Structure 1
Amino acid sequence: MPKVVISGYYGFNNIGDEAILKGLIDGIKDFNQDTEIVVLSQYPEFTSKKHNVRSIKRMNLFSIIKEIKDCDLLVSGGGSLLQDVTSKRSILYYIAIINIAKILNKKVMIYSQGIGPVNKKYNRNILKRVLNKVDFINVRDENSKQELVDMGIEKDILVTMDTVFGIKKPDIEIGKEILRDINIDFEKKIVGLSIRPWKNNKQIVTEISKVCESLVEEYDYQVLFIPFHFYADSSIIKDIYKNIDKKYRENVFVLDKYLYVDEYISLVGNLDFLIGMRLHALIFSVLMGVPVVGLSYDPKINNFLNFIEKNEVISILNINFNDIMNEVKCLIDNIDDERALISKKKDEFREITDIHNKVLMDLIENRGEYFGKN
């Protein structure tokens, strides 16, 4: 029975990363149900329960070495692991795990990752040395590939998509039940908002508050705030809610309980459209055929919006009520075309994710078929 060890940002209550893990596990199991999977996690019991796999503490070096020692493949990813913007130390952790596997003469796959930005010269140099030793590199966008090429990575690099597009779509009724619990009126339209804290929180609170008021007053929408990284996002969402004029608040709702992957995805599937900062809020929307307006705080958002032919990107550092509402008006005026485009992209992305999952199984089973090798 083949064995895979998975390293990533798992067990931290970030629904985007948990969705990545689900997509990865679903992809492996689709090809071989018997594969043993071990996940490095901050909370192993939580990960084991949610994903029905074995899990160990991500900082327990002895256990990590023990599991990697008898595995067939270490998978590093997916997500934005190899960057030094949101954290200065985490990149060294992920590089160290990869290096342990190569020291133990194990195969390593960089899986569906968004690379960079990597700004520190030391980090770029060590990443170059380590990644040139791995067996296969798969990234989720062309900019990530270019970042690696610029570092001096000499390996072939496969560009596909975020592995979340490989998730099986959940029943839409799951989300409907959650919306009923918070008293959403299904006779009215619903717009979702995914907002995260950033450097200019006060400006975000001011501008998003005005957006909510306009959506309620001018378009008769119900507004639903959805915290995708529950504890991290809840504070700024509360600040926005308090800043909204009281006369509009009866049509503004805040999801105040932690959900898991299928529940979030199903919930998003009940929206008319979504305005989002979080990458996986946008990805969940496309997965469920829901149009989006993206607010970018990171190149990964720009990259994804370009994938879905959204070339007018609103920067969160220059966030402005008028810019957002211009995009919203354009989307509403062309809603049928937007839905058709999103549906087409969703199908394309699903086919692309099958490619990196096949590569993964080729590596595990020593078939040598990846990149045409026999």
Structure 2
Amino acid sequence: MTSHASRSNPRRILLLGTHGQHNIGDELLLETFLHELGDDHDYVINTYDRADTAARLGDRYLYTLIDTARDRWSLLRHLWTSELVVFAGGSILKELSAATRRPRYATLLMIWAVVLGARLAGRTPIAMLNIGVGPLRTRRGRLLARLILASVSFVTVRDAASLEMCRRIGAARRVRPSTDAVFGVSPRWLRGGDDDRVDGSGPWRIALNLNHDVEAPELWDAAMRALSEALTVLAAERSIELHLLPMQSRGKEHDDATVLRAFARSLPGVPVVEHAPEDHRDVASIISSCDVVVAERLHALITASKLGIPVVPLIYDTKVREISHQIGAVDRAVDLSVPFSADAVLGPLRRIAAAPRETREQQQSAVDRLTVRAQQDFGRVRAWISARTA
């Protein structure tokens, strides 16, 4: 499937990621990289759902879509014909958890095959940009990650934990610290237009995102009971309205929307507004209408922080723990990998409600620094691409 946009003398870039799985965060990463790298390239993009990805991108860019699962020969052909290979963000160098129901090394082996294919195709330059590295719990996983990184020309990692993992496996020499790519875009771009934030009248609006794929699944039910108790107590203290914010509403068992609807049934006395966002613009609109965001998903937290909405991170893995530190929200975060009480959630919510302006200003100061870093890094990436394809 090919778009009809046309460019003169475009560079062909193979852009790889976890696209087409109906995860709004992954699709946001794809659109962020296309926006930042520019519309003067000819992109080849992998996806698990070509129709969905094509509908999202329209004719804004020149691109060809290849099916990740079915077009392996097409991928090999494009490895030979592309001028650059770019892995566009995401947690890609990791061992998969049992919750995914996929082989532990599936992602690492697939990426190693792509990297090896690119090398065999004539040493095509490879970049891995704003990626997450880890968890890598086994010797085999660390070896695969080290082999991959040793074959890549340009690498940036999105957080300190990823950089430390690269050091531990002996692969930090080419790795540059960065942050998540989405910090590089503007709030207006995220919203798709002007600010549509509502005024502060009415109930206190809480956007809630939940993701069932946690590192400690045995603690999930207890965590949901504590969260439900916290919101019930808060509703007795003040008027609140809960806005359900799924970042993945289909394409997997226990998707966010299903989990959120089940959780909402534990709050019979709390007004609940159900949303069905289709893309990052819908997510930004929902978040902009709320006073606080309580979320597990990385890009729900990043979008909220970019839009100036205070967050309470629900830490379910390393990347959320790292982003909590980066945006100065670690003192408001709740760790789902250990038992916690309702007070662990109530405390941060009460502090935000008591001092919303101070919380926003403190969070915004950290976000501003991350935005500068992300924009500078995209400038370096564009210069690197130009030098490699001149």
Q: Same fold (TM over 0.5)?
A: yes
Find out whether 1:300 has 2:319 as its counterpart: yes
Deviations 1:102-145 (A, max 9, x none): 22111100110111011121121122122112101100112101
> Which residue number corresponds to residue 87 of structure 2?
76
Question: How do 1:1-374 and structure 2 match up within 5 A?
Answer: 1-29=10-38, 33-52=39-58, 53-59=63-69, 60-86=71-97, 87=100, 88=104, 89-104=106-121, 105-167=123-185, 168-171=189-192, 187-197=202-212, 198=214, 199=217, 200-231=219-250, 232-244=255-267, 246=268, 248-249=269-270, 251-255=271-275, 257-312=276-331, 313-317=333-337, 318-366=339-387
**What letter corresponds to residue 345 of structure 2 in structure 1?**
I
Tell whether the 8 Å contact from 2:83 to 2:389 is kept in structure 1 after alignment.
no
**Does the C-alpha gap of structure 1 residues 230 and 338 become closer, same or farther in structure 2, counting only changes over 3 Å?**
same
Deviates more, 1:235-244 or 1:358-367: 358-367
- CA positional deviation for 1:56: 0.8
CA shift, 1:174, in A, is 8.6
The answer to whether the 8 A contact 1:204-1:316 is kept is yes
Whether the 8 Å CA contact 1:192–1:268 is kept in 2: the answer is yes
CA distance in 2, matches of 1:296, 1:62: 39
SS of the residue corresponding to residue 19 of structure 2 reads: coil
Question: How far off its partner does 1:357 sit?
Answer: 1.8
Q: Which moved more, 1:140-149 or 1:305-314?
A: 305-314
Deviations 1:308-365 (A, max 9, x none): 1223342113232111101111222221111112222333222211223223222322
Residue-by-residue CA offset, 1:258-317 (whole Å, 9 max, x unaligned): 421111122212211111111111111011111111111111111111111223342113
Give the structure with the higher percent helix: 1
Of 358-367 and 150-159, the range deviating more from structure 2: 358-367
Three-state SS of the structure 2 residue aligned to 1:158 is strand
Aligned alpha-carbon RMSD (Å): 2.3
| Deviation by residue 1:227-281 (Cα, 9 ceiling, x = unmatched) | 112231122212211122x3x14x12222x2421111122212211111111111
CA 1:259 to 1:319, structure 2 compared with 1: closer, same or farther past 3 Å?
Answer: farther
Whole-Å separation in 1 of the counterparts to 2:146 and 2:46: 24
Aligned to 1:182: none
CA distance in 2, matches of 1:364, 1:172: 29
**Which stretch has the larger CA shift, 167-176 or 227-236?**
167-176
Q: Is the 8 A contact 1:85 1:118 kept in 2?
A: no
Matched position secondary structure for 1:134 = coil
Q: Once structures 1 and 2 are overlaid, which stretch shifts more, 12-21 or 122-131?
A: 122-131
Distance change (3 Å), C-alpha of 1:290 and 1:26: same
> CA, structure 1 residues 154+239, in 2 after alignment: closer, same or farther (shift >3 Å)?
closer
Which letter does structure 2 place at the counterpart of 1:16? G
1:19 CA drift (Å):
1.0
The DSSP-based 3-state class of the residue aligned with 1:202 is helix
CA-to-aligned-CA distance 1:32-91 (integer Å, 9 cap, x gap): x31111211101222122124421111321110111212121111301111114352222
2:163–2:172 CA contact under 8 A, matched in 1: no
Distance in 1 (alpha carbons) for counterparts of 2:125 and 2:193: 39
Separation in 2, partners of 1:116, 1:230? 26
For 2:133 and 2:209, how far apart are their aligned partners in 1?
23
* TM-score, normalising length: structure 2: 0.85
TM-score (normalizing by structure 1): 0.89
Are the counterparts in 2 of residues 114 and 300 from structure 1 also a CA contact under 8 Å? yes
Q: Relative to 1, partners in 2 of residues 1:331 and 1:258: Cα closer, same or farther, differing over 3 Å?
A: closer
Unmatched 5+ residue regions in structure 2? 1-9
In structure 1, what is the Cα distance between the partners aligned to 2:280 and 2:384?
Answer: 28
